[in-house]
């Protein structure tokens, strides 16, 4: 059936369209009421979702105070001097104070070429570069020295840094640095490219050799004497060794046969004591010698290097003592000084300085920096590593070594109280947000203003009261029995009007004090194991988290159920609106039909009236003519 419309019903002189619109408007009032109700329900669903979000944040914040994310397990690594080293501690670190002395830092192996003309040509070559266990293939099609460097950078740039430095517009130098630190980070080239690298002055060909750089005659050091020897330097890639022998001769006090008697005893004149003669007051030799002048000290050997110095003590005779640069860790040895402060005398003999070439074949020609390991002491224990980043010496701690220390420094591992404080404040903030929402959305405005979305809602009031009750929990067997003891409370009576709604305030001074003095006990206030099964099952944050599970559960939580309830009401109302709209359209059509019928009737009546009027008029005219 086609839709009935009104085109121009005006025979009656009545505004039919206006009359129908008003009738439809009256008939639509139940539909409008249902739509308004749905808007109210949608608003409540929106508010419930907002509440759910706030509760979830409080729940997650509560759980994070005692589960695997607990801020109380966060540790802070503190360096006594970050100029020398830094400390990073993770959650597995133990609270401790350790001593560290950095004897040397790790270095990257670095070499350079001779000075080369810009644009030097190099032929086609395929070769490999190796650093430690990493090997990279490089294919070069031939070209300039700059193109050669670019090829290495593109194909082996992950294991070496290669760069060009221009000394002037015509000359340059290539530098190559291993990205791996440590003594095992040397750069090695395959034999295919060695002749080319030799021409560039990057490598040179050598054979095994040993040469004597210096030899000293024997010398004897009596008390308070010394002898300093400047050490000649070895050639490139050669190893320097220093060897010597030490003979110790102990000091023997004078015998009683001939003793200088001190002035206060015998005037200082030598006397001879006859062993066969009995004297009333025998003189004992040890009583006549100033014992404080007899010193028993080791021989001091001070080795001076380009990167520090090393002190070696020798307490007895020894042969074949050997010193070398790599073991001392003080850079290139510059000098060696023998110092005697003992009453004993020391004779140094067979002192030799040798330069040894241990390698054979192609070796680096210009070594800018030899690769070396870091060497340091932790609580006096000597440790050597290939890197300056050390993460396997102290449990849960990463050390980054920067430079050598002159004396012991301190590593401190302690709880990160600032982070714990930050998370506690964040937790209190989430709680206050929930309380603020409940207070605002359940308020009844007695002055005629707008009420909250859940004004007078007892469920929300019960939530408010339950949260407050948990926050006021007390644990009799804990050091800190309640939140107020660590500075978290509803404030002093009358101190702040907002606290009447259950808002929490934080006394940061009290909280700081508690965290610093008894960090672990503060942790236990929020969550602890009460039955020894190693699972947290009590504490304020634990109770909050458990209580909110029933509110926030995705499938059957209280908030979800209420939102679903309003959604179902909206759905039902939408169906009723749909039904009423169909009825309204039928009603509209019936009105249009009725008014159309009325108009047709009126039109017919008017037509009949006009016919009668015409007929009567015509009749009257005929009668008059007769």
Indicate whether 509 and 432 sit together in one domain: yes
Percent of the chain with pLDDT over 90: 61
Rounded Cα distance between 441 and 244, Å, is 91
Domain with 306 in it: what CATH number? 2.60.120.260
CB atoms within 10 A of CB 93: 22
Would you say residue 174 lies in a domain? yes
Last residue of a domain, one of 206, 240, 264: 206
Over residues 118-137, the mean pLDDT reads 95
Dump pLDDT digits (tens) for 511-549: 999 999 999 999 999 999 999 999 999 999 999 999 999
Dump pLDDT digits (tens) for 553-609: 988 889 999 999 999 999 998 999 888 888 888 888 888 777 777 777 777 777 777
- DSSP string for 567-589: HHHHHHHHHHHHHHHHHHHHHHH
Indicate whether 401 and 519 sit together in one domain: no
Indicate whether 215 and 354 sit together in one domain: yes
- The DSSP output letter for 480 is S
Rounded Cα distance between 534 and 513, Å, is 28
Would you say residue 196 lies in a domain? yes
Rounded Cα distance between 129 and 114, Å, is 19
Identify the pLDDT of residue 606: 73
Indicate whether 336 and 388 sit together in one domain: no
| Contacts (Cβ under 8 Å, ≥6 apart) of 139 | 126, 151, 155
In the structure encoding, which two tokens stand for residue 166, read together? 């221009």
Identify the pLDDT of residue 494: 55
Half-sphere exposure of 13 (CA within 13 A, CB side): 1
Identify the pLDDT of residue 275: 57
Rounded Cα distance between 420 and 486, Å, is 13
Predicted confidence (pLDDT) at residue 5 exceeds the cutoff of 50: no
Among 4-8, 353-357, 410-414, 461-465, the range scoring the smallest mean pLDDT is 4-8
Indicate whether 184 and 221 sit together in one domain: no
Indicate whether 512 and 548 sit together in one domain: yes
- DSSP string for 251-319: --PPPTTEE---HHHHTT--EE--TTS--SSPPPHHHHS-GGG----PEEEEEEETTEEEEEEE-S-EE
Q: Which residues are 127's β-sheet partners?
A: 138
Among 72-81, 95-104, 279-288, 458-467, the range scoring the smallest mean pLDDT is 279-288
Predicted confidence (pLDDT) at residue 55 exceeds the cutoff of 50: yes
- The DSSP output letter for 497 is G
Indicate whether 335 and 218 sit together in one domain: yes
What does pLDDT average to over the chain?
87
User: Structural domain of residue 244, as residue ranges?
Assistant: 210-251+294-358
H helices, E strands: number in the chain: 12, 33
Predicted confidence (pLDDT) at residue 465 exceeds the cutoff of 80: yes
Identify the pLDDT of residue 477: 85
Over residues 420-433, the mean pLDDT reads 97
Would you say residue 400 lies in a domain? yes
Would you say residue 586 lies in a domain? no
Indicate whether 317 and 409 sit together in one domain: no
Which residue in this structure is represented by tokens 């207070």? 439
Indicate whether 66 and 143 sit together in one domain: no
Model confidence at 8, pLDDT cuts 50, 70, 90, reads very low
Identify the pLDDT of residue 133: 93
Rounded Cα distance between 558 and 536, Å, is 25
Predicted confidence (pLDDT) at residue 218 exceeds the cutoff of 60: yes
Indicate whether 424 and 530 sit together in one domain: yes
Among 29-38, 472-481, 498-507, 536-545, the range scoring the smallest mean pLDDT is 498-507
Rounded Cα distance between 307 and 304, Å, is 8
Last residue of a domain, one of 557, 575, 594: 557
Dump pLDDT digits (tens) for 325-344: 878 878 889 999 999 999 89
Percent of the chain with pLDDT over 70: 88
Last residue of a domain, one of 522, 557, 592: 557
Identify the pLDDT of residue 14: 65
Dump pLDDT digits (tens) for 62-98: 999 999 999 999 999 999 999 999 999 999 899 999 9
Over residues 290-316, the mean pLDDT reads 85
As a 3-state breakdown, the chain gives helix, strand, coil percent values, each rounded to 5, of 35, 30, 35
Predicted confidence (pLDDT) at residue 396 exceeds the cutoff of 70: yes
Would you say residue 424 lies in a domain? yes
Would you say residue 375 lies in a domain? no
Would you say residue 284 lies in a domain? no
Would you say residue 600 lies in a domain? no
pTM: 0.67
Indicate whether 235 and 187 sit together in one domain: no
Predicted confidence (pLDDT) at residue 345 exceeds the cutoff of 70: yes
Predicted confidence (pLDDT) at residue 160 exceeds the cutoff of 50: yes
Rounded Cα distance between 297 and 289, Å, is 19
Predicted confidence (pLDDT) at residue 26 exceeds the cutoff of 80: yes
Domains: count for the chain: 4
Indicate whether 302 and 190 sit together in one domain: no
């Amino acid at each position: 059936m086609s839709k009935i419309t009104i085109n121009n019903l005006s025979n009656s002189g009545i505004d039919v369209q206006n009359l129908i619109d008003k009738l439809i408007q009256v008939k639509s009032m139940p539909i409008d009421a249902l739509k308004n109700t749905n808007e109210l329900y949608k608003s409540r669903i929106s508010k419930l979702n907002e509440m759910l979000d706030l509760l979830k944040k409080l729940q997650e914040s509560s759980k994070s105070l005692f589960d695997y994310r607990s801020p109380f397990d966060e540790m802070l690594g503190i360096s006594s001097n970050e100029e020398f080293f830094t400390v990073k501690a993770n959650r597995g670190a133990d609270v401790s104070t350790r001593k560290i002395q950095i004897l040397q830092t790790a270095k990257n192996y670095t070499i350079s070429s001779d000075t080369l003309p810009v644009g030097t040509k190099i032929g086609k070559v395929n070769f490999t570069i190796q650093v430690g266990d990493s090997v990279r293939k490089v294919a070069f099609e031939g070209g300039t020295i700059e193109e050669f460097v670019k090829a290495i950078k593109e194909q082996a740039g992950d294991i070496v840094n290669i760069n060009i430095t221009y000394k002037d517009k015509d000359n340059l130098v290539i530098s190559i640095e291993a990205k791996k630190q440590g003594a095992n980070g040397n750069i090695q080239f395959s034999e295919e490219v060695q002749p080319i690298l030799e021409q560039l002055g990057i490598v040179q060909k050598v054979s095994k050799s040993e040469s004597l750089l210096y030899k000293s005659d024997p010398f004897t050091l009596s008390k308070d004497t010394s002898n300093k020897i400047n050490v000649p330097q070895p050639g490139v890639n050669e190893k320097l060794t220093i060897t010597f022998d030490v003979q110790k001769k102990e000091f023997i006090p004078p015998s009683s046969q001939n003793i200088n008697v001190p002035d206060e005893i015998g005037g200082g004149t030598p006397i001879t004591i006859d062993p066969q003669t009995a004297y009333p007051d025998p003189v004992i030799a040890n009583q006549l010698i100033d014992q404080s002048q007899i010193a028993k000290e080791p021989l001091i050997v001070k080795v001076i290097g380009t990167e520090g110095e090393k002190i070696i003590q020798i307490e007895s005779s020894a042969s074949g003592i050997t010193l070398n640069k790599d073991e001392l860790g003080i850079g290139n040895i510059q000098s060696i000084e023998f110092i005697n402060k003992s009453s004993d005398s020391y004779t140094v003999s067979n002192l030799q300085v040798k330069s040894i070439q241990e390698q054979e074949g192609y070796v680096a020609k210009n070594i800018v920096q030899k690769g070396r390991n870091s060497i340091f002491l932790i609580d006096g224990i000597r440790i050597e590593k290939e890197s300056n980043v050390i993460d396997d010496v102290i449990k849960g701690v990463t050390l980054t070594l920067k430079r050598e220390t002159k004396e012991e420094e301190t590593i401190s591992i302690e709880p990160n109280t600032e982070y714990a404080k930050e998370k506690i404040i964040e937790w209190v903030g989430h709680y206050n947000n929930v309380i603020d929402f409940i207070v605002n959305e359940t308020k009844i405005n007695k002055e005629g203003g707008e009420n909250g979305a859940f004004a007078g809602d007892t469920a929300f009031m019960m939530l408010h009261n339950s949260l407050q009750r948990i926050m006021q929990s007390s644990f009799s067997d804990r050091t800190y029995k309640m939140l107020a003891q660590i500075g978290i409370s509803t404030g002093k009576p009358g101190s702040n009007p907002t606290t009447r709604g259950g808002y929490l305030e934080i006394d940061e001074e009290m909280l700081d004090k508690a965290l610093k003095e008894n960090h672990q006990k503060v942790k236990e206030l929020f969550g602890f194991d009460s039955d020894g099964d190693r699972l947290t099952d009590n504490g304020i944050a634990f109770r909050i988290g458990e209580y909110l599970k029933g509110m926030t559960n995705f499938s059957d939580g209280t908030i979800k159920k209420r939102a679903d309830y309003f959604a179902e009401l909206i759905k039902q109302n939408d169906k009723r609106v749909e039904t009423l709209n169909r009825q309204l359209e039928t009603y509209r059509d019936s009105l249009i039909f009725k008014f159309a019928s009325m108009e047709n009737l009126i039109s017919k009546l008017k037509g009949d009236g006009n016919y009668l009027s015409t007929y009567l008029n015509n009749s009257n005219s005929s009668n008059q003519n007769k």
